[in-house]
């Protein structure tokens, strides 16, 4: 699978001259944690994220050091940190060492880059212009879309079991000691019955539920007079089209 198949486009972005306030409100409004910084001609020039707003003068969280650490850091680094803490425009706080990807990059390559660089999103660039963005949420969505059958099977099994249990509970002849397990449409009946005719009735209940593919009978017959337990001689697995389980 390639980046082009999962990337988000068009991309919510901000111009370098935009205010810090505008960028922050844009991220909050769209519930995203980062924005590509793009010139009016579509050229990608930087990225701004929540992390760029952590050390801010408005919050009183700008970096503070002792005088001797300031001396070791040097005036250039201190000046740069001041700009990040008090700048008013996106271009003053954005990161410019941008890691990007291409439309034809594989998802394996994207995940490797994100993990190695510890980043959450990659701008997708073509000829220097921003054409999309791929984030962790896009990868999560792609994974979820690739697994609908498994999720559907689980949901369908739960529905089949609920239908069978509900119908057994309505009957005066049984249901209280019959246990039902469903796995991908295959129904297993276990527990006890006190009249052999209840076995066929339980089978009919199962056969009338949509989505059932087979029946495995493991019901034990308890003879009422003697209390003898008789296990089924053959744990029959009935397939669709057989006399045990008619086709839907």
Contact 3, 107 (CB under 8 A): yes
**Res 174 pLDDT > 80:** no
- Six-digit token string for 17: 């001259």
Distance CA 170, CA 164 (A): 10
**Res 248 pLDDT > 70:** no
Beta 214-222 vs 186-193: how paired, if at all?
parallel
For 84-101, how does the pLDDT look when each residue is reduced to its tens digit (9 = 90+)? Answer: 899 999 999 999 999 999
The overall pTM is greater than 0.85:
no
- Topology (CATH) of 148-238: 3.30.1340
Distance CA 66, CA 58 (A): 21
How much of the chain, in percent, has pLDDT values that exceed 70? Answer: 87
Statement: 3-145 belongs to CATH 3.40.50.11310: no
- Burial level of 91, CB count in 10 A (0-12/13-18/19+)? middle
pLDDT of residue 240: 38
C-alpha distance across the termini of the chain, in Å:
37
For 22-32, how does the pLDDT look when each residue is reduced to its tens digit (9 = 90+)? Answer: 999 999 999 99
pLDDT of residue 81: 85
- Six-digit token string for 184: 């991908």
How far, CA to CA in Å, does 77 sit from each of 20, 45, 55, 74, 133?
Answer: 21, 22, 14, 6, 31
Q: Where are the domains of the chain?
A: 3-145, 148-238
**Res 14 pLDDT > 70:** yes
């Amino acid at each position: 699978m390639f980046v082009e198949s999962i990337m988000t486009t068009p991309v919510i972005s901000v111009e370098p001259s935009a205010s810090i306030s505008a960028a922050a409100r844009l991220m909050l409004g769209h519930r995203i944690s980062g924005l590509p910084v793009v010139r009016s001609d579509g050229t990608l020039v930087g990225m701004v994220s929540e992390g760029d707003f952590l050390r801010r003068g408005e919050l009183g969280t700008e970096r503070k050091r002792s005088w001797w650490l300031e001396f070791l850091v040097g005036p250039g680094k201190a000046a740069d940190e001041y700009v990040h803490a008090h700048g008013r425009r996106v271009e003053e706080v954005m990161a410019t060492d941008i890691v990007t990807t291409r439309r034809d990059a594989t998802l394996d390559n994207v995940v490797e880059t994100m993990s190695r660089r510890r980043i959450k999103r990659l701008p997708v660039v073509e000829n220097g212009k921003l054409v999309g963005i791929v984030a962790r949420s896009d990868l999560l969505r792609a994974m979820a879309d690739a697994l609908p059958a498994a999720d559907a099977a689980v949901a369908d099994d739960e529905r089949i079991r609920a239908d069978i249990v509900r119908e057994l509970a309505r009957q005066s002849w049984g249901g209280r000691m019959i246990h039902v397990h469903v796995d991908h449409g295959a129904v297993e009946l276990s527990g006890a019955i006190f009249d052999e005719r209840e076995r066929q009735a339980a089978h009919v209940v199962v056969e009338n539920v949509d989505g059932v593919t087979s029946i495995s009978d493991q019901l034990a017959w308890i003879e009422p007079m003697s209390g003898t337990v008789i296990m089924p001689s053959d744990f029959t697995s009935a397939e669709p089209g057989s006399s045990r389980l008619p086709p839907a």
